[in-house]
């Protein structure tokens, strides 16, 4: 198959990873990347339904592609991802010029569906539930992959989610949690390391409940001899089979031990499932980075309860304190939603107070907007938009101050940096990430290329990034060694 393809990815790292798989499939049959729509023969829109106005943006893009297809009828258009999984019939009806609609569980079918559309001249719509596909299809690690960054790999360890956060559409589009077999994950990381990958990010909707469904499978598979056991007795029996039930911590240790892997990251954990074993693994495995992204969402117990988050502000603080005391030099980042239905001034103040108490290294903040199909979309009273804007501004003052202080604390330190490339604003500078995931800009050198490790002395800091001077290329202290040097 000759020609070019273009993939537009919306949404989270899960989608970015799926897009890498789709790119791998398209390149495996001879297609090459295109620079824009006009240059492409296959256009894939990998959609997300979490972001605000996702459907409006999709239909806007499809409207533009309709005119393109009228001029070049041979162009093939694919809509994939969460929005396709959720609204397949609507997309098919509103955009008959789309050739293929496929969901989140059948990325591996992309080429077959394109081929069927070509041969029949008919639009192909195929959406599968997680239960309808085998493990090797749910986690298509055998598919070719085109990594956006050759030295870094996303590795899916789990799909779906068993929680029911009131604002989130994920459980209804991605289905219940399904953990990928332990050995398959380690094998994929080992293969990636052999291909030159040194940094892996373990991906899942709720990574630190990894393995919980494997426990449930044990329960289902236990057979009639164990059928009389219930409740605690079952838990004890299952605990007795501990070796057959890997935890996320076991995975961190196994992946962290793969030769060639220098950095292990993961996203996203849930505060209620952050176990002591995970914290211990972070503390003990050198390659696991000192960065914990722990979504808070709100600092008010009342709002957390309405969101069905399963923890209180106090419990969140305890988990952060436990992680910080065990893992030296830990950066903690978060997500916060402002203006959830029913949020009062006092609730918003609780969030500000909790943010100040934690002192986050950085945070993503969002003003609540209802997602159709979620419980929160039906909740009242809504918070007036301007009130949410004001509350967010107040929260941002606290968050920006703590980011600036945390970055300034790094001045004078020597950091290990994984180079991502030249700075977008200044080609005389390179940019990279520290183990804590802080962005660093520093003067470039001929030996620096994406994937190179360097040591950099931090000489300045802003709220968003560090400024450094290059000390050495590839002469990296092993793993988490960081050498404090007096400022000035």
Q: Which of 170, 214, 258, 418 binds ligand SF4 (CB under 6 A)?
A: 170
Per CB under 6 A, does 165 bind ligand SF4?
yes
Query: Looking at beta carbons only, is 201 or 387 nearer to ligand SF4?
Result: 201
Which C-beta is closer to ligand SF4: that of 27 or that of 172?
Answer: 172
Smallest distance, ligand SF4 to C-beta of residue 170, A:
4
205 is an interface residue for ligand SF4 by CB under 6 A = yes
Least Cβ distance, residue 221 to ligand SF4 (angstroms)? 25
Q: What is the number of other CB atoms lying within 10 angstroms of the CB of residue 459?
A: 15
Burial category of 421 from C-beta neighbours within 10 Å (exposed 0-12, middle 13-18, buried 19 and up): middle
Give CA torsion, residues 260, 263, 268, 270, to 10 deg.
110
The three-state secondary structure class of 482 is coil
Q: How far is the CB of 78 from ligand SF4 (least distance, A)?
A: 25
CA 14, CA 203: separation in Å to the nearest integer?
Answer: 7
Residue 270 or 482 having the CB closest to ligand SF4 = 270
Burial 160-196 (b: 16+ CB within 10 A, else e): bbebebbbbbbbebbbebbbbebebbbebbeebbeee
Q: Which stretch binds ligand SF4 (CB under 6 A): 84-92, 99-107, 168-176, 361-369?
A: 168-176
Least distance to ligand SF4, CB of residue 173, Å: 10
> How many binding residues for ligand SF4 (CB under 6 A)?
9
Check if the beta carbon of residue 331 is closer than 8 Å to that of residue 291.
yes
Confirm if 43 and 64 have CB atoms less than 8 A apart: no
Site membership for ligand SF4, residue 27 (CB under 6 A): no
With binding defined as CB under 6 A, does residue 82 bind ligand SF4? no
420 in Cβ contact with 431 (< 8 Å) = yes
CA atoms within 13 A on the CB side of 399: 19
Nearer to ligand SF4, 163 or 190 (CB): 163
Question: Do 65 and 77 meet the contact criterion of CB atoms below 8 Å apart?
Answer: yes
What is the SS3 assignment for 459? strand
| 49 touching ligand SF4, by CB under 6 A | no
In whole angstroms, the minimum distance from the beta carbon of 287 to ligand SF4 comes to: 26
Do 10 and 47 touch, CB atoms closer than 8 A?
Answer: yes
Stretch that binds ligand SF4, among 122-130, 158-166, 403-411, 445-453 (CB under 6 A): 158-166
Say how far apart CA 180 and CA 214 lie, in whole Å: 9
Using only C-alpha atoms, what is the Rg of the chain? 24
The stretch near ligand SF4 (CB under 6 A) out of 64-72, 166-174, 231-239, 468-476 is 166-174
In the complex with ligand SF4, the residue whose CB is nearer, 61 or 206, is 206
Q: Considering the complex, what minimum distance in angstroms separates the CB of residue 402 from ligand SF4?
A: 23
The span of 124-132, 162-170, 368-376, 476-484 binding ligand SF4 (CB under 6 A) equals: 162-170
User: In whole angstroms, how close is the CB of 163 to ligand SF4 at the nearest point?
Assistant: 4
Spatial distance between the Cα atoms of 316 and 294, rounded to a whole number of angstroms: 9
Counting contacts by CB under 6 A, is residue 458 touching ligand SF4? no
Tokens found for residue 78: 């694919």
206 binds ligand SF4 (CB under 6 A): yes
Query: What b-and-e string marks burial along 10-20, b requiring 16 or more CB atoms within 10 Å of the CB?
Result: bbbebbbbbbb
Among 81, 103, 140, 171, binds ligand SF4 (CB under 6 A): 171
DSSP for residue 60? H
Strand duo 466-473 + 453-461: pairing: antiparallel
Q: Is the peptide bond before 395 cis (omega within 30 degrees of 0)?
A: no
Tell me: does residue 13 bind ligand SF4 (CB under 6 A).
no
Stretch 390-409 residues interacting with ligand SF4 (CB under 6 A): none
Give me the phi and psi of 440, to 5 degrees please: -130, 135
Q: Does 204 bind ligand SF4 (CB under 6 A)?
A: no
168 in contact with ligand SF4 (CB under 6 A): yes
Segment near ligand SF4 (CB under 6 A); pick from 167-175, 210-218, 237-245, 424-432: 167-175
By CB under 6 A, is residue 163 in contact with ligand SF4? Answer: yes
- What residues numbered 259-278 form the site for ligand SF4, per CB under 6 A? 270
Q: Which stretch binds ligand SF4 (CB under 6 A): 165-173, 227-235, 244-252, 442-450?
A: 165-173
Nearer to ligand SF4, 153 or 168 (CB): 168
Indicate the pairing of strand 178-179 with strand 42-47. Answer: unpaired
Structure-block tokens of residue 144 = 């070719």
Return the number of the residue (6 or 296) whose C-beta is nearest ligand SF4. Answer: 296
Task: Report H helices in 95-200.
Answer: 110-120, 135-138, 170-174, 182-194
**Shortest spacing between CB 285 and ligand SF4, in angstroms:** 24
Binding region for ligand SF4 (CB under 6 A): 161, 163, 165, 168, 170-171, 205-206, 270
């Amino acid at each position: 198959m000759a020609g070019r393809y273009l993939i537009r990815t919306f949404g989270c790292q899960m989608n970015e990873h799926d897009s890498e798989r789709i790119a791998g499939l398209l390149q495996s049959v001879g297609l090459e990347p295109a620079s824009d729509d006009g240059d492409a023969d296959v256009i894939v829109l990998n959609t997300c339904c979490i972001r605000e106005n996702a459907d409006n943006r999709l239909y806007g893009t499809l409207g533009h592609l309709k005119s393109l297809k009228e001029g070049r009828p041979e162009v093939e258009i694919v809509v994939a991802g969460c929005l396709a999984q959720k609204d397949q019939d609507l997309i098919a009806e509103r955009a008959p010029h789309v050739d293929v609609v496929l969901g989140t569980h059948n990325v591996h079918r992309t080429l077959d569906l394109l081929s069927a559309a070509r041969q029949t001249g008919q639009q192909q719509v195929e959406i599968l539930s997680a239960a309808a596909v085998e493990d090797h299809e749910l986690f298509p690690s055998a598919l070719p992959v085109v990594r956006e960054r050759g030295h870094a790999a996303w590795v899916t360890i789990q799909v779906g989610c068993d929680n029911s956060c009131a604002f989130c559409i994920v459980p209804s589009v991605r289905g219940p949690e399904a953990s990928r077999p332990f050995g398959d994950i380690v094998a994929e990381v080992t293969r990636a390391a052999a291909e030159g990958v040194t940094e892996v990010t373990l991906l899942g909707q709720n990574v630190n409940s990894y393995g919980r469904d494997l426990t449930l499978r044990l329960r289902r598979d236990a057979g009639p001899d164990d059928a009389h056991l219930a409740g605690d007795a079952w838990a004890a029996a299952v605990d007795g089979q501990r070796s057959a039930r890997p935890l996320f911590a076991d995975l961190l240790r196994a992946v962290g031990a793969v030769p060639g892997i220098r950095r292990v990251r993961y996203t996203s954990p849930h505060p209620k499932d952050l176990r002591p074993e995970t914290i211990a693994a972070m503390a003990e495995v050198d390659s696991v980075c000192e960065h914990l992204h722990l979504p808070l969402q709100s600092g008010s117990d009342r709002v957390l309860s309405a969101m069905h988050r399963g923890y209180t502000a106090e419990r969140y603080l305890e988990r952060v304190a436990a992680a910080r005391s065990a893992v030296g030099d830990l950066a903690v980042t978060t997500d916060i939603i402002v203006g959830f239905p029913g949020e009062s001034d006092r609730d918003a103040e609780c969030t500000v107070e909790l943010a100040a108490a934690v002192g986050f290294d950085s945070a993503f903040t969002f003003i609540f907007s209802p997602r159709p199909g979620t419980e929160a979309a039906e909740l009242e009273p809504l918070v007036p938009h301007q009130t949410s804007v004001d509350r967010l501004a107040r929260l941002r003052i606290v968050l920006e101050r703590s980011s600036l202080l945390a970055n300034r604390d790094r001045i004078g330190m020597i950091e290990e940096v994984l180079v991502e490339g030249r700075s977008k604003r200044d080609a005389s500078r390179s940019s990279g990430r520290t183990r804590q995931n802080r962005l660093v800009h520093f003067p470039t050198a001929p030996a620096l290329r994406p994937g190179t490790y360097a040591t950099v002395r931090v000489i300045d800091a802003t709220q968003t990034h560090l400024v450094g001077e290059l000390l050495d290329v590839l002469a990296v202290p092993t793993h988490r060694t960081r050498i404090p040097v007096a400022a000035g």
